[in-house]
Copies of this chain bind each other. A is one copy, B any other.
């Protein structure tokens, strides 16, 4: 197989709910990238570590804790890497490299005065050198820093994957990922990478999950059943529609800094029924996604949905209603595991590094140029 590499991609999101681990095989065929997903697994993060990560992002921590966490994550990712192989009897010796996103602790791509210089920065934690030494394998990570150093947002990084694996010669494509935040990559038919548009549309599951946790002590609204049983609260919906971010012109990105518990609490009151709140928030997520697609994506585009939100069938129903002039399918129908997509994407960024190919799309990130992303440790 041409340029075949077995790569483990590891993704941990800002929600810190699991270590998403994908064992992939990448190769070239007729000049195109190809991959198979051999195994995918979501490993738990222990609650003390989860709490520490949230303490760090709330500035209640010591430098010792940060340093220890940096190495702890290497051991954790080592366990996940070996586990995802062992589960299917794949010999770990045959893995070529581990490619990791790392745990984001800070992301601020907008330059600010910092003593005598203007600095923007992003921080993803794990000692890739320690992980390499533990596993006796090459490890690649820290994919955002170089793009930020060139004036980019260091995000989103998924569009390069969308470009190579979803682009179609005859059909305009919108890759929609509904994670905590929802984001889209618009891939016009037969386009070059410089014609891509990609940005965050607003909340995906984040506000829904926060509300479901607050009112029902559940992790998420399974199949959207809570939302389905509620009524739209006109006042709350109007308040949500006033959120400026939805209408901002891309490039734009957002996160837990804005769409959080504080925002929800500032908008709800005790008169609102829980199911109605969930219904209204779900409708708002659907609206904000649909509004941005209608504004920026060609009519009749095929929308390819990934991320946990694709399993919220009520949210998908609402999207289908709003996006009557578009087609919508789950990415799984293209034989790409929709839960694993981000982990596969980071495995692919490791593959691009090994191929000496650029990983960012600077028309999306805003960086001055396209460059090789990532840092490599090969401590063997």
Residues of A within 8 A of B (CB): 46, 48-49, 52, 56-57, 59, 61-64, 66-72, 74-76, 105-106, 108, 112, 114-117, 119-123, 127-134, 142, 145-150, 371-380
* In contact, B149 and A134 (Cβ under 8 angstroms): yes
The answer, among B64, B66, B108, B130, for a CB contact under 8 Å with A149, is: B130
The answer, among B63, B75, B117, B133, for a CB contact under 8 Å with A56, is: B63
List residues of chain B with CB within 8 A of the CB of A378: 372, 376
Q: A56-B63, A57-B63, A379-B371 are in contact. Are A133 and B145 (CB under 8 A)?
A: yes
List residues of chain B with CB within 8 A of the CB of A131: 149
* In contact, A123 and B72 (Cβ under 8 angstroms): no
The answer, among B120, B145, B147, B376, for a CB contact under 8 Å with A375, is: B376
* In contact, B372 and A375 (Cβ under 8 angstroms): no
List residues of chain B with CB within 8 A of the CB of A129: 142, 145-146, 149, 373-375
**Sample of 10 A–B contacts (CB below 8 Å):** A52-B115, A63-B105, A66-B123, A67-B122, A68-B119, A71-B148, A71-B149, A76-B117, A129-B375, A371-B379
| A232-B356 Cα distance, complex, nearest whole Å | 64
| A133-B66 Cα distance, complex, nearest whole Å | 25
Q: Which residue of B lies closest to A79 (CB)?
A: B117
- What's the minimum C-beta distance from A379 to chain B, rounded to whole angstroms? 4
6 additional contacts (CB under 8 A) given A59-B62, A68-B114, A373-B379 = A64-B106, A67-B105, A67-B106, A71-B121, A129-B142, A146-B377
| A67-B57 Cα distance, complex, nearest whole Å | 11
| A17-B123 Cα distance, complex, nearest whole Å | 26
- What's the minimum C-beta distance from A153 to chain B, rounded to whole angstroms? 14
Q: Which residue of B lies closest to A59 (CB)?
A: B62
Nearest 9 CB-CB pairings of A with B: A129-B145, A146-B379, A130-B149, A67-B106, A133-B146, A71-B121, A67-B123, A133-B149, A48-B115
The answer, among B48, B59, B61, B127, for a CB contact under 8 Å with A145, is: B127
* In contact, B371 and A123 (Cβ under 8 angstroms): no
List residues of chain B with CB within 8 A of the CB of A115: 46, 48-49, 52, 72
List residues of chain B with CB within 8 A of the CB of A149: 71, 74, 127, 129-131, 133-134, 379
* In contact, B146 and A130 (Cβ under 8 angstroms): yes
| A203-B68 Cα distance, complex, nearest whole Å | 27
